[in-house]
Amino acid sequence: MLVGISYGIGIFTFVQISKTNSNLKHLYNDPLQTETSMEQIHSDFKFAQRLMQRIHANKTKQEIIAVSEIIQEVEKEIFSAFIELETSEIEDINGFYETEKILEKWSEAKGTVITSILISSSVTSTAQAREKQYAEDFLKAIGNLIHFSKHQREDSYYKILEINQNNVYILSILLLLVLFVGTAVYFISIQATIFPIKNIIQKLQLIAEGQLTSNLNINSKDEIGELAAAFTKIQNMMLQEMNLKKEEQLIQEKLQNAQNQLYSLIHGNDSLAEVSQKTINFIAGFLNLQIAVLYTYYEKAKHLHLTATYAISQENVKEFVEVGEGFIGQVALDKSIKEINDLPEAYFSSISGIALVKPRNLFIIPLIYSNKLVAVVELASIFPMSDFGKMFLKNVSGTIAIALNTALIRGRKQKIKFSKK
């Protein structure tokens, strides 16, 4: 009930303040609009005065007629502006009508001057003086109206400030009332509502500190229970995401350590055969593979030569493989990874570089350096290659290719020196 009362008071106050703000806009904008219109009248009249100066200069009749027509158009605009201002709320209405009368007198005197010049090519000093006097009186009167309008607008501004300050007081009182009602509702609420919320807050604080395994034991079926269920769901999702990130971090660390070990192992002054053997020994041991072979590509001969084996005799492996021959030759030709799983045992002797063994899964990867084929590694296992293994092989393929290419070039240089000797 207290909440309903405070809610009703708030709506009533908001409606009243909205109405007040609407009136305040009207209170400020009307003088501003009147002031703008009068300033435009002042500007137009000064323009008409400049045109009258040209007429007083006794130019040709044709020019006088043209200028007088322009003056008449400006005069019409000025009178139209006065008519529009009559419908607005002007505080100094007497001054406004007096200014309008002066404008009419000036218009009459101006007409006399122009007519005299057109008829007799001259004008009496008295008529000319009257026109100028009325013009000065009008500019002074319109200036007074503008000044009065500015003063009125300033008064309106301070009134608005005062009213807004009162509104602030009202809103402050309303806020205090709402706070009072809210406090009353809080203390009136049953403890069964407060304690679960405090429990959730404590769990959120624990989560903020990184403790995601803390359980929230709330079994109620009301809104608090739904909130607790949603909280538990979010908590489980955060815990799962954190575990995945930890797992990914461990995988990356394991990959990086393995890459560093392999790099240290094969980068040195070893021969091509030594580098090849160290490479497949490390890969097979790290990925728990059963069989592995490495073929080095000789570009001039256009074939692959067996360089190293793991857990299989070289007598059981083809020594040379042509590009495009079998799985290894096809990988060398396409320069792309090939994976074969669950192959029948009868096919291995004819299509695999591993002749007499019968693994069920193959993973063949080309080693590329500077977009050129350096070698092909064929790996055999009783299990399909894991995603971790594939990621590792892709990461280290470039490092192995560089080491093999360096060893191959080193070997060629040593052969050249030996042949020269």
List CB contacts of 185: < 8 A, sequence separation 6 or more: 2, 3
According to CATH, the topology of domain 2-182 is f41 fragment of flagellin, N-terminal domain (1.20.1330)
Residue recorded with tokens 């930890």:
246
**261-420: which CATH number, 3.40.50.720, 1.10.760.10, 3.40.50.880, 3.30.450.40?**
3.30.450.40
d(C-alpha 200, C-alpha 206), whole Å: 10
Q: What is the DSSP string of 382-401?
A: SSPPPHHHHHHHHHHHHHHH
Best-predicted range by mean pLDDT (65-69, 294-298, 313-317, 351-355): 294-298
How do residues 107-147 score in pLDDT, each as one tens digit? 777 777 777 777 766 666 777 777 778 777 777 877 777 77
pLDDT attached to residue 86: 64
Q: How confident is the model at residue 420 (pLDDT cuts 50, 70, 90)?
A: low
Domain ranges in the chain with CATH number 3.30.450.40: 261-420
State the number of CA atoms in the 13 A half-sphere of 170 facing the CB: 17
How do residues 23-81 score in pLDDT, each as one tens digit? 555 555 666 677 777 777 777 777 777 777 777 776 677 777 777 777 778 777 877 77
Q: What integer is the mean pLDDT of 323-329?
A: 94
pLDDT attached to residue 27: 53
The first and second tokens of residue 387, run together, are: 């995603």
Contact 336, 310 (CB under 8 A): no
pLDDT attached to residue 368: 96
- Whether the per-residue pLDDT at 391 is higher than 70: the answer is yes
- Of 220, 219, 215, the closest CA to residue 232 belongs to 215
pTM flag (> 0.85): no
1 vs 58, higher pLDDT: 58
Sort 405 into a burial class: Cβ within 10 Å, 0-12 / 13-18 / 19+: buried
Q: What integer is the mean pLDDT of 90-94?
A: 64
- Whether the per-residue pLDDT at 303 is higher than 80: the answer is yes
- Whether the per-residue pLDDT at 192 is higher than 60: the answer is no
Give, as one character, the DSSP assignment of residue 317: B
279 vs 8, higher pLDDT: 279
d(C-alpha 64, C-alpha 247), whole Å: 96
d(C-alpha 345, C-alpha 62), whole Å: 116
Contact 160, 191 (CB under 8 A): no
Q: How high is the mean pLDDT of the chain?
A: 78
- Whether the per-residue pLDDT at 406 is higher than 90: the answer is yes
Contact 351, 327 (CB under 8 A): yes
Contact 228, 200 (CB under 8 A): yes
Domain ranges in the chain with CATH number 1.20.1330: 2-182
Q: In degrees to the nearest 10, what's the CA dihedral of 140, 141, 147, 151?
A: 150
The first and second tokens of residue 308, run together, are: 């190293």
pLDDT attached to residue 338: 95
Residue 209: phi and psi, rounded to 5, are -85, 0
- Of 2, 8, 77, 92, the closest CA to residue 42 belongs to 77
Helices (H) and strands (E) in the chain, counts: 10, 6
Q: What integer is the mean pLDDT of 153-160?
A: 72
